[in-house]
Amino acid sequence: MFDKIQSHVYASTMNTIIKKIGTRELLRDIKNIKAAVKEGQTFEVYDRSTPLFRITPINTPQHKKYTFAHLADMQFSTAEPNLSQQVDEIVYG
């Protein structure tokens, strides 16, 4: 996908692999770069060996929206009458 990029890869101090790309390559291949950023890849964009900016993914948690139907699927099916209380004691002390 990124033929020229592969030779310009280094690791940052946070154990993140950062790929160096030029401005021309960014403009030419923005669709694939966008997909790579969505997957967690970080890029540094250079103009004639001068770093301009870094493209990093935003790590926002994806919250799943639950409905009452999901709640019914999550309920325990056990013969233990005090299971909820026991779980609360373990979790909350």
Residue 24 exposure: Cα atoms within 13 Å on the Cβ side:
3
Q: Is the pLDDT score of 23 beyond 70?
A: yes
- In this prediction, residue 74 carries a pLDDT of 65
Sequence-separated (6 or more) residues with CB below 8 Å from residue 44: 18, 19, 20, 21, 51, 53, 54, 55
Whole-structure pTM value: 0.51
Query: Would you say how long the chain is, in residues?
Result: 93
Instruction: Give pLDDT, residue 62.
Output: 60
- The one-letter amino acid code at 48 reads R
Q: pLDDT tens digits for 44-68? A: 999 998 999 999 998 755 666 767 7
Q: Which has the higher per-residue pLDDT, 84 or 45?
A: 45
Of 78 and 85, more confident? 85
